[in-house]
């Protein structure tokens, strides 16, 4: 192994936000870093589709200026503030709302004064009291909030209607999760990040932004790693086409399932960390992308369904609605299935998924009616990790098991922290710190 005080060679497997954050942090420490990504572009669940009219983000859409670790990672990239006005659709009426900011919901026309009063005396004080710990990098003292589901808390403290309006749409659409299977601590962390923050995106798409952040990192795209080995001389990764990379240490920045498949053969299926990786609960998510025959005027970004009215679609988004000025993605509409629809349609072909979702998409965005030139489905079958009640303790336990692993290997991925971009970035920086400690001991 090379001398940690000079420069080591590190492999990072996975080019999502967590892998790029790990690679950039290791590069900044002076190491030579090779990043292996199975897709043709960086981004993972935040990857962009490169179209002739411009890039369209297919997974993660927006980040908040309150994502401090992400802001540092992307300091050299060009980000644009968005309007990101959303509407909540009930009985065919569009009620303006800005999701992510619980405070903004106090102005929302879809909740009665009684519900708003209770919101102001229950959720908002909780948010204020715990603001310092509702973060992807510091969760001290949140045990009580983590032990209860977001839905049951809001139902009890406010009302069932408030749970349908405040809890379900953002969790269903962007995190593939139901309110009852999501920790109140995670829901409040979303509120904390969304409060008093500017929402940001890139007109060039996240894949481009991540390539900028990975400056100085050797990128190997279309490298689907099959197997890793740890030898006394270091680490080896091989891809499906039998290409091989050797290094002093490896960061595995994939899903928990892929990390499980890599580590199982090395440390054994009964190893506590391998069993913990198998215990991470994920749900596949998809994004349906419709290209319309004509561009449409987009004055809003998110169009969220009332879950008491919609069973197949939880939200649509009009990418062009992020910006004030005209946008090249003006003919694009994105749609996300409900968690129920994902479970029901899991093994169905693309055409059936689109056909099943189309009637509700047309109700949410009537301009799509009879105007779709092309439909595609971007599948994130590796899944989004659910932040179930108790997830903070579960994640801390897993990180402890990883710390005890005596191999030149570190794990990164939002399943180790919180399932959002900031959580992925924090996990990548942690992995880089672990590699630095391992190299210092060697």
What are the residues binding ligand FAD (CB under 6 A)? 13-19, 36-39, 44-46, 59-63, 174, 223-225, 253-255, 258, 285, 287, 336, 380, 382, 384, 413-414, 419-421, 423-424
Q: How far is the CB of 262 from ligand FAD (least distance, A)?
A: 8
Tell me how far CA of residue 418 lies from CA of 322, 387, 415, in angstroms.
25, 7, 6
Q: Which residues contact 357 (CB under 8 A, 6 or more apart)?
A: 288, 312, 313, 335, 337, 341
Q: Which is nearer to ligand FAD, 31 or 45 (CB)?
A: 45
Q: Which is nearer to ligand FAD, 111 or 237 (CB)?
A: 237
Q: Which is nearer to ligand FAD, 158 or 186 (CB)?
A: 186
Q: How far is the CB of 70 from ligand FAD (least distance, A)?
A: 8
Q: Which is nearer to ligand FAD, 14 or 115 (CB)?
A: 14
Q: Which is nearer to ligand FAD, 158 or 314 (CB)?
A: 314
Tell me how far CA of residue 390 lies from CA of 99, 100, 128, in angstroms.
24, 22, 21
Pull the structure tokens for residue 436: 């630095």
Q: Which is nearer to ligand FAD, 115 or 429 (CB)?
A: 429
Q: What share of the chain is helix, strand, coil (3-state, %, to 5)?
A: 40, 25, 35
Q: How far is the CB of 63 from ligand FAD (least distance, A)?
A: 5
Q: How far is the CB of 34 from ligand FAD (least distance, A)?
A: 12
> How far, in Å, CA of 115 to CA of 106, rounded?
9
Q: How far is the CB of 45 from ligand FAD (least distance, A)?
A: 4
> How far, in Å, CA of 378 to CA of 325, rounded?
27
Q: Which is nearer to ligand FAD, 111 or 273 (CB)?
A: 273
Q: How far is the CB of 415 from ligand FAD (least distance, A)?
A: 7
Q: Which is nearer to ligand FAD, 164 or 287 (CB)?
A: 287
> How far, in Å, CA of 209 to CA of 71, rounded?
12
Q: How far is the CB of 44 from ligand FAD (least distance, A)?
A: 2
Q: How far is the CB of 361 from ligand FAD (least distance, A)?
A: 15
Q: What is the 3-state secondary structure (H, E, C) of 113-129?
A: HHHHHHHHHCHHHHHHH
Q: Which of 198, 258, 272, 264 is nearest to 225 (CA)?
A: 258
Q: Which is nearer to ligand FAD, 108 or 174 (CB)?
A: 174
Q: Which residues contact 181 (CB under 8 A, 6 or more apart)?
A: 149, 386, 388, 389
Nearest 5°: phi and psi at 209?
Answer: -60, -40
Q: Which of 134, 144, 152 is nearest to 194 (CA)?
A: 134
Q: How far is the CB of 161 from ligand FAD (least distance, A)?
A: 25
Nearest 5°: phi and psi at 336?
Answer: -120, 135
> How far, in Å, CA of 85 to CA of 78, rounded?
21
Q: Which residues contact 173 (CB under 8 A, 6 or more apart)?
A: 302, 304, 314, 315, 336
């Amino acid at each position: 192994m090379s001398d940690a005080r000079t420069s080591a060679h590190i492999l990072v497997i996975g080019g999502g936000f967590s892998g790029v954050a790990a690679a950039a942090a290791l590069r900044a420490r002076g190491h030579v870093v090779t990043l292996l990504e199975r897709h043709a572009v960086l981004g993972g669940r935040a990857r962009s589709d490169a179209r002739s009219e411009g890039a369209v983000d297919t997974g993660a859409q927006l980040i908040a200026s309150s994502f401090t670790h992400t802001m540092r990672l992307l300091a050299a990239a060009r980000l644009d503030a968005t309007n990101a006005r959303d509407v909540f659709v009930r009985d065919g009426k569009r009620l303006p709302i800005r999701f992510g900011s619980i405070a903004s919901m106090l102005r929302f026309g879809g909740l009665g004064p009684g519900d708003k009063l209770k919101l102001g005396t229950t959720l908002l004080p909780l948010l204020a009291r715990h603001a310092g710990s509702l973060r992807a990098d510091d969760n001290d003292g949140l045990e009580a909030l983590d032990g209860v589901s977001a839905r049951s808390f809001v139902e009890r403290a406010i009302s069932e209607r408030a749970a349908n309006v405040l809890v379900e749409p953002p969790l269903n659409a962007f995190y593939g999760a139901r309110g009852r299977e999501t920790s109140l601590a995670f829901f409040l962390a979303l509120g904390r990040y969304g409060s008093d923050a500017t929402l940001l995106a890139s007109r060039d798409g996240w894949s481009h932004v991540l390539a900028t952040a990975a400056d100085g990192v050797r990128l190997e795209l279309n490298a689907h790693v099959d197997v890793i080995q740890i030898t006394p001389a270091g680490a080896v990764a091989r891809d499906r086409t039998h290409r091989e990379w050797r290094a002093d240490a490896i960061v595995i920045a994939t899903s928990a399932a892929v990390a499980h498949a890599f580590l199982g053969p090395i440390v054994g299926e009964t190893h506590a960390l391998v069993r913990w990786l198998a215990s991470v609960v994920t749900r596949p998510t998809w994004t349906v992308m419709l290209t319309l025959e004509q561009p449409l005027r987009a004055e809003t970004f998110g169009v969220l369904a009332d879950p008491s009215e919609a069973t197949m679609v939880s939200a649509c988004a009009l990418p062009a609605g992020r910006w004030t000025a005209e946008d090249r993605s003006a003919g694009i509409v994105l749609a996300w299935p409900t968690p129920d629809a994902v479970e029901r349609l899991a093994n169905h072909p693309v055409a059936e998924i689109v056909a099943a979702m189309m009637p509700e998409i047309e109700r949410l965005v009537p301009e799509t009616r009879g105007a779709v030139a092309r439909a595609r489905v971007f599948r994130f079958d590796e899944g989004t990790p659910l932040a179930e009640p108790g997830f903070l303790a579960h994640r801390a336990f897993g990180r402890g098991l990883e710390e005890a692993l005596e191999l030149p290997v570190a794990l990164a991925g939002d399943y180790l922290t919180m399932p959002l971009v900031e959580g992925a970035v924090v996990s990548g920086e942690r992995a880089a710190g672990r590699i630095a400690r391992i190299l210092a001991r060697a």
